[in-house]
Structure formats: structure tokens, C-alpha cells
Structure 1
Amino acid sequence: MQPELIYEDDYLVAAYKPEGWLVHRSAIDHHETRFLLQYLRDLTGCHLYPIHRLDKPTSGVIVFGKSGGIAAQVQAQLEGDASVKKYIAICRGYCPEEGVIDYPLPPVADFKHQRKRPKTELPRQEAVTLFRRLGTIELPFEVDRYPSSRYSLVEIELKTGRRHQIRRHFKHIHHPLIGCPKYGKSVHNRFFAEHFGCGRLLLHALSLELDHPVIGERLKLVAPPRGCFLSLIENFGWQLPE
């Protein structure tokens, strides 16, 4: 699956990022060859500046600036209350109909020198996630220790932007996301990969709403899920939010 432009003007570029693509080169993954930033630079013929990021296994909407100044203005919006960042995800179990997860998180240690530090030395940072349940399904398969298995489609709004925040928060409330090897549950991940042919992380950045830094109008950038994620939603009879 290839990236696709969903918005472009003289100041901004927004695109759909497929799962499995890095936003830019990173020492965390030396072997990856697919970089969204370089792909979009070649596609648009413009030098682009990253504003925010999506993890490699996460798909969805991402935006870049065509100058450092524009990127800084939009980044300030994303770090405050002027923007709205919404995701969808599939989690294990019937999660509550709606809720707020207000649970501080320590920084994620990506490198060996960081992992050597005791966890008690890593200060926790404020982290707030809002969610509402969009749909549920009970499947007649004994995946874990029950004769059937339940799952939920969830709409999520980030109020803060900590690393792996959604995945860590849903693990905290005992409804881990499907397809997450780090914070999920392997038996459910394998079930979706083997039974539905969907081995990816089922987390997708659905929309990003912000004020245009120059024109001033409100932009709502939307990219529906694709591939096996979309097939699951359709097969389970779920509806995406408006």
C-alpha cells in the first residue's frame, strides 16, 4: 500500500501514511527503506518539514509544513487545545461505552542507554486519552480462556501526545489493542493474523482538525482506514464515525 496526498496548498501537505512506513529515517530501525517524508518530497517537489509523527505500525493522517516557520506554528497547535486528533482502534473485550484515561506515563526507552536507567528514575508525564465505543462483536472462537471472544471498535481523541500513548493507556484499562506486539496480547494478535489475514496493529489516525496557520480557516483532514482494517470493520458490521 502506497502513501497518498489528501491535501496540499502553498503552506501545508497532508497525506495518508500506510502501516509499516517510517515518517523519516530513524536510528530505531536501521533496516527500513520506506520513508514517508522522502516519498512526499519526491512527489511534491518541495522540501517538507515534519510537524508530528505516527508510529511505524500506525496508519492514517499526517501533516507536514512547507517551511520551518509554518511547521512550528502548526506544531504549537497540536501541542495545545486548538487541534483535534482522532483515531480508531480495535481492542480486546467490550470496553466501556465512553471514558477518560488520565494516567501519567514515563518516557518510552527506545535505546539501550535509556533502558539501563531504573524505571523509578524516569519521571511520569501527564497523559490524557478520551474514548467512546463505536461497536462490539462476539466471535464464536475460543482464543483465550473463554469459549467465545469479544472485541470493540473505539474512537479515540488524544489530549496529550506521549509516545505509544493510546496503546499504553488501553493496556492500562485492560483492553489492549489488537496487533500490538509490545502492549497487546499475542494469542489475540495471532488469531486476527491467521483467521482474518490481518496481522497489523489495528490503530489508525482517522482525522486531524486544525486552524490553517496562514489562511485561518478550519481544516479537517480525513483519511479512512484501508486494506484489512477496513475489511474487518465492514465484515463486523461496524460504522465509522461521521
Structure 2
Amino acid sequence: MNPFKILFQDKHFFAIDKPAGYFVHPPELSPYPVPREKICLYHLRKHFNQDVFPVHRLDAPTSGVLLFAMSRDSARELNRLFADRKMHKTYQAVVRGIVEEEGRIDLPLEIDEGRVLAESTTLYKRLSTIELPFPVGKKYPTARYSWVEVNPVTGRWHQIRRHFDRIAHPLLGDIEHGDSHHNRFFRDHLEIRGLCLKATSIRMQNPWSQEEITIRTEPCEKWDKIEKLFSQQS
């Protein structure tokens, strides 16, 4: 049984709504074995009864729109759109603190174990903020958070997560780059678990039909909780 909602499909490619906790393909550097039931390719090749080809990646803790091609040729065509920056991805995230109403993060990021830096750009706009009367981390008497919409211009490894950490607004639930005190508060007190990062849509011109399409995720319980939390304040 295919555990993924298929958001779009034609004879060249398709998009799924990837849940958090699934790897696109078997991780190369994982210190522990990952069961095949947690690998997208395993389920999708079984579902379609043929090889399918990932066009891009989402980190295992990130949920949302994920594209796969039905052939190597189709994958190359879609990869060209990514290379030409004609594939427009939108994410939503929750970050620590109050960010500017909108901003641009232009900070080079390491792509080769810290030895090589690459140009990296992330755009964002603030959707909502909230201030809660809890001294999380004990440094401040309240806990403040921003709900943001994010558009990565480039596509580096952990780009959104690393960029917001570099400007002192780490993502909630990020165990690699985040703040453990606020992660624990979200998990244990607010009951919002895992990384607060979701790939909400991809906009592109379909290379075969020439139609402009936008593929969007559907509502889910976690992000319904986040929306309810931020609806308390604006």
C-alpha cells in the first residue's frame, strides 16, 4: 500500500505529499540502518511497478511537496528547471524570535565538509508572531516565535535550517541546528513535535504541456496546530 498522497501526476512526473520521517532514498552516511518502509523510493517503485527517479530532495524531518520523474529523460528535463531556477519552491517554518516582516539571507554555506563555500540565498516573509508567557531557556521572561513563508533561491543542503540558525532564528524542532530548550518546549508543552518545516508548494511551467502549474500540499494535523497557536496573536 502506498502511504503517500499523490498531489499531481501525468505520464512524465508526479508529486507526493511526503510525511516527516521518510527518506527519499537510502541515506549514504546514516550511522544506523534505515528500514525500507521509511524510504520513499521503496514504496513508489512498488506502487507504480517500475523505476521512478527523484528530482530533488527533502530532508527526512521535512514534510511536503516532493517530485519524482517516470523516466531518466523526464528527470533530466525537470532537473534543468531547477538548475535554471525556474522551479519556485515555497516552504513554511516556525522560528525562534521575531524576524523582520520580510528579508533576504545572503550567506555562503559549506557544501564540502566545511572546505568549500557556495553562494546561498533565502527569501522570507513573516506571516504571524506570538509571544507566550514562559521563560524558556531562562534568558527571557517570555517565549517569542515567528511563522514564516520561505523561498529558497538556491538549493544547498539544509539551507533553510542553516540560514535561519546563522541569523539567530533557528527553526523549531531542528535537533541539528536548533535550540534544545525551545524544541523541548514545543514538543512537551505545546505538543507540536518534530521539525517545523514544510514544503507547501512548487510552481513551475510544465515542460511538456507548457502549462503553468502550482502543486500544493494539503492540510495536516501538525500545521493545523501551528495555525491555531498563531491565531491567538497577530
TM-score, normalised to structure 1's length?
0.89
Query: Residues 224 and 174 of structure 1: is their aligned pair in 2 closer, same or farther, counting only changes over 3 Å?
Result: farther
Percentage identity across paired residues of the two chains: 38
Q: Greater shift after overlay, 78-87 or 225-234?
A: 225-234
Q: 1:198 pairs with 166, 171, 192, which one?
A: 192
Aligned equivalents of 2:86 and 2:185: distance in 1? 39
Question: Mind listing any 5+ residue stretches in structure 2 that lack a counterpart?
Answer: none
> Between Structure 1 and Structure 2, how many residues are aligned?
227
Residue 149 of structure 2 corresponds to residue 147 of structure 1: no
Question: Mind listing any 5+ residue stretches in structure 1 that lack a counterpart?
Answer: 110-118
Q: Is the 8 A contact 1:104 1:127 kept in 2?
A: yes
Query: Residues 224 and 96 of structure 1: is their aligned pair in 2 closer, same or farther, counting only changes over 3 Å?
Result: farther
Cα displacement string for residues 130-156 of structure 1 (whole angstroms, at most 9, x for unaligned residues): 000000001111112111110000000
Q: Is the 8 A contact 1:108 1:163 kept in 2?
A: no
3-state SS of paired residue (1:131): strand
Q: Is the 8 A contact 2:192 2:225 kept in 1?
A: no
Q: In the alignment, residue 38 of structure 1 is paired with which amino acid?
A: Y
Aligned equivalents of 1:206 and 1:9: distance in 2? 20
3-state SS of paired residue (1:71): helix
Q: 2:162 pairs with 147, 162, 168, which one?
A: 168
Question: CA offset at residue 46 of structure 1?
Answer: 3.4
3-state SS of paired residue (1:47): coil
Aligned equivalents of 1:212 and 1:54: distance in 2? 21
Q: In the alignment, residue 32 of structure 1 is paired with which amino acid?
A: V
Aligned equivalents of 1:230 and 1:28: distance in 2? 33
Tell me which residue corresponds to 1:158. Answer: 152
Tell me which residue corresponds to 1:89. Answer: 93
Tell me which residue corresponds to 1:25. Answer: 26
3-state SS of paired residue (1:199): coil
Question: CA offset at residue 224 of structure 1?
Answer: 3.7
Query: Residues 140 and 204 of structure 1: is their aligned pair in 2 closer, same or farther, counting only changes over 3 Å?
Result: same
Return structure 1 stretches of 4+ with deviation > 6 angstroms.
none
Question: CA offset at residue 108 of structure 1?
Answer: 5.7
